[in-house]
Chain A
């Protein structure tokens, strides 16, 4: 096995932070504690749990002892929270009541969980009539106002703690069942479920080993959130006279009982009310923190450091002035010394580390690289579309059509984008707003920054659709994106990009989501349009085939830097950088011949922020072979045989 040694010698990769990641309990804890609301929530919840366990022991006085001579006393040294209408010590009652209160919350959630989750999972697993029946039953339950439902349950079963738990639990069942069904459905759609079934696992195993652990995060979150609302439901029952049994203290009932004293003896309601509201708050906070962890959509980006926001406002230092001396105005795009970094919890992580690019009008430059090489970030930066809250441009200059593109104010930035830049994304489906008609989205592009009457706009939109070879454009204007096939959507995205006759079209893997036959159509279309309009195209791709067919120039990117660039013919036919060579050679088919081993690049692309010293390709490079020169410093681009190469030993390949 020739590949084995290479793999084993590959550098150890660090674990990237992943929202879906399984983790030890400690990791989960760490991540809860990394959020302020998690810290507060968890601390409070822990305190409450301790209170529930030790509360009765801590109570300084008998919580049931009545003293008619001492009723409704305000807080004092003897009675910290005062006394209630029976002269009992409120502080002791609050402490003793913690157990019952939290017990109701835990019990109610447990009831809902134990009934709702199996129902939801069953519905999702079996589908068909079972699902229909379960969903109908849930509809029926939901159509009862929950407090009324609980009221009826308690009224029928009788008012005691156990029945209150059952009632508030039943009320919460629909939420659990619905959520469990929804998350189970999404988990069941995951390939690993199919993988497990394909392995021969039986349904019970699939549910227990794969489905339940993976929905547990969501359900945990939901449980904490519902815990709070369960407490409040129970308290509402107490308010309506159907809470737990006196004299046993429970915060909701205490609050309900003391509500008539809210004016005359405010402290009486205040303490149980505060404890109740704060416990609801605590569980809500914890639930929110958990949700942030488990729900990828609620992940929030790191806060923008104020200093960097200042940086963004003015042109990056140094090089900007220098570059203006060059005849950059002739270029459609000119990028000099660009460095881009992600803002992360651990600081800035550089993804683009000093890139120079130039595209002349009417030419296509392809940037080639593996995932993580920084090529997409580069493209977005050129399109002025990086989100300053996530990404910082730390150095360098970008000029588009001769205009400085960095450090512009919002209006100037909009103006630049409108006039000079068109952008086409990889996934046409997500590049179009699903809720607006094509006509709407096109018209927006056409009218941006100008006032046109609607007929002109319409004609212009129709013309644009014709330009991208869409038949029957008049009718299509009123259609929505989802009514088009993938290829058609990409054409529309291109039409939008062309609306203002941009000087440069940025295309980020414009075809990799499409079928081969459609890919071809789109690229041919782009080439034709380019010929007609003479615009520059920056094409980002990983497919050397496409580069060979459709680009004029190519820049090969590795770990945030260009390693080889030049015109397509010379670079691809006689690559000099070992990485480019390996890329060329590793594609199956063609010259390699059938059944023979492919030449491979050992290991995997390096991770951002974990680059080896010296040449970043060194660990995977066959040419390097532990030469000291490779390890000492990172080689810069230099002209060799009609192109630029960043390899100390580039000449070896020319021999």
Chain B
């Protein structure tokens, strides 16, 4: 544990500016036969053929509801999960070429910050121990003074002071804890930070502090962010590119300005409508409501997986000739039967995976008829 771990060499020819490359990655859970009973557990397709690239120094956001697979995707990027198929390449090194020790060494470059700082710090370790552990694990700064210097630097970077070093997590406030979590993540000078809902567990007033801190750190340390969130406002504020996830797949991805400014997929459109940052806000203009809830990943609907809730499909079905009667209402035949194509936007800076990506979203009635 004391020797600095050599990082694996880059694969030649992949020396691009894309520090994270996720190529056609899938991750399925279950399906294994159970011990003794021999019954195969059902397969959950948590992540299904997802691809994206993140440019060095930028921020990529993954947006989705719970159950969409966004947390699994984050863990695939960090290498905590091995993909069932596809390849994750970090800084030119395909993760599949690494053994478990190599993966551990690679984590110096890719760090994960979790949602709930209260739970993500070991309650029995002081801030100092927590920070030290990161250095010990990677065999960095083994000299005591060097180590102290590094810890001092980092603690200052995240806006804490030396007095906090001797404290235990429960002696810190939520915001301070998240600062510690961030400090632990950056102490080994990583290049990529994967942030899993970094502010959603915090109080409103503290959220803004952390968001600002993240922005400062990115600028200062030239970090690359992959941020997982359900909050489109945060995406618009922080991210350069975004992937909107629904049932394990990206339904729309691309440049934030384009995806958020002019969403083409009906799901993104609904999310944007709900986000409702447009002031002035008032109850006289109720936001459109999306029907039903996200289906179980055990039973992903055929065709376009969004068709069970898609307002656009409902609307289109009214005039269409090829209509299928489903349990959730009438939808155009392609939606219910064919996987949707990924259509690039006219500008080419985003794609939407929808049969009718370029149809205009109708002003649908928000009165919902719930079936699930």
Interface residues of A (CB under 8 A from B): 1-4, 7-8, 13, 15-16, 18, 20-22, 128-129, 132, 190-192, 194-202, 205, 209-210, 213-214, 370-371, 469-471, 485-488, 491, 515-521, 524, 527, 542, 544-545, 548-552, 568-569, 572-573, 582-583, 586-592, 594-595, 597-602, 604-605, 620
Contact = CB atoms under 8 A, between A and B. Distances in A.
Contact of A587 (B204, B256, B287, B370): B204
Given A548-B283, A588-B211, A598-B212, A582 B205 contact: yes
Nearest to B67: A515
Contacts of B287: 520, 549
A497 B325 CA distance: 36
Given A198-B78, A549-B283, A520 B290 contact: yes
A197 B80 contact: yes
B281 A549 contact: yes
B208 A524 contact: no
A191 B116 contact: yes
B122 to A, nearest CB: 5
Given A520-B289, A548-B282, A604-B174, 14 more contacts: A1-B159, A191-B114, A191-B116, A192-B119, A209-B125, A469-B369, A515-B65, A515-B66, A520-B287, A586-B204, A586-B205, A589-B236, A598-B212, A604-B175
Interface string B208-245: 11011101100000000000001111101110000000
Contacts of B122: 192, 196, 209-210, 213-214
Nearest to A203: B100
A15 to B, nearest CB: 4
B171 A15 contact: yes
B102 to A, nearest CB: 10
Contact of B275 (A202, A589, A591): A589
Contacts of A214: 122-124
Contacts of A4: 156, 159
A198 B325 CA distance: 47
Contacts, number: 245
The 10 closest A-B CB pairs, nearest first, are: A589-B233, A200-B107, A548-B281, A586-B208, A22-B124, A588-B237, A198-B112, A590-B277, A601-B205, A132-B35
A592 B237 contact: yes
B298 interface: no
A598 B36 CA distance: 57
B274 A198 contact: no
Contacts of A549: 276, 281-283, 286-287
Contacts of A573: 280
Given A586-B208, A599-B208, A471 B369 contact: yes
B218 to A, nearest CB: 10
Most buried by A among B171, B231, B369, B371: B171
Contact of A600 (B115, B172, B208, B234): B208
DSSP majority for the A interface? helix
Interface in B101-159: 101, 104-108, 111-112, 114-116, 119-125, 133-134, 137-138, 156, 159
Interface in B325-372: 366, 368-372
B135 to A, nearest CB: 10
A209 B121 CA distance: 12
30 contacts: A4-B156, A4-B159, A7-B159, A7-B160, A8-B161, A13-B173, A18-B170, A191-B116, A192-B122, A195-B112, A195-B181, A196-B133, A197-B80, A201-B137, A205-B137, A210-B122, A214-B122, A520-B289, A521-B290, A527-B283, A549-B276, A569-B282, A572-B281, A583-B205, A589-B237, A589-B277, A598-B237, A600-B208, A601-B205, A604-B175
B65 A542 contact: no
B207 interface: yes
A91 to B, nearest CB: 45
Contact of A1 (B216, B274, B291): B216
B267 to A, nearest CB: 9
Contacts of A22: 123-125, 168, 170
A198 B215 contact: no
B119 to A, nearest CB: 4
Most buried by B among A7, A210, A573, A599: A7
Contacts of B108: 200
Contact of A515 (B123, B159, B294): B294
Nearest to B217: A1
Nearest to B173: A604
A16 B170 contact: yes
Given A3-B213, A21-B123, A604-B203, A524 B368 contact: yes
Nearest to B64: A515
B51 interface: no
Nearest to B5: A200
B128 to A, nearest CB: 13
Contacts of A487: 293, 372
A550 B212 CA distance: 29
B263 to A, nearest CB: 14
B3 interface: no
Given A194-B112, A213-B124, A214-B124, A199 B107 contact: yes
Nearest to A197: B80
B39 interface: no
Nearest to A585: B208
B206 interface: yes
A521 B370 contact: yes
A205 B203 CA distance: 33
A485 B237 contact: no
Contacts of B133: 196, 199, 201, 209
A20 B122 CA distance: 10
A469 B35 contact: no
A214 B277 CA distance: 43
A200 B161 contact: no
Contacts of B104: 200-202
A129 B80 CA distance: 21
B78 A588 contact: no
B293 A605 contact: no
B216 A604 contact: no
B270 interface: yes
Most buried by B among A8, A582, A587: A587
B2 interface: no
A520 to B, nearest CB: 5
A485 B370 CA distance: 12
Nearest to B175: A604
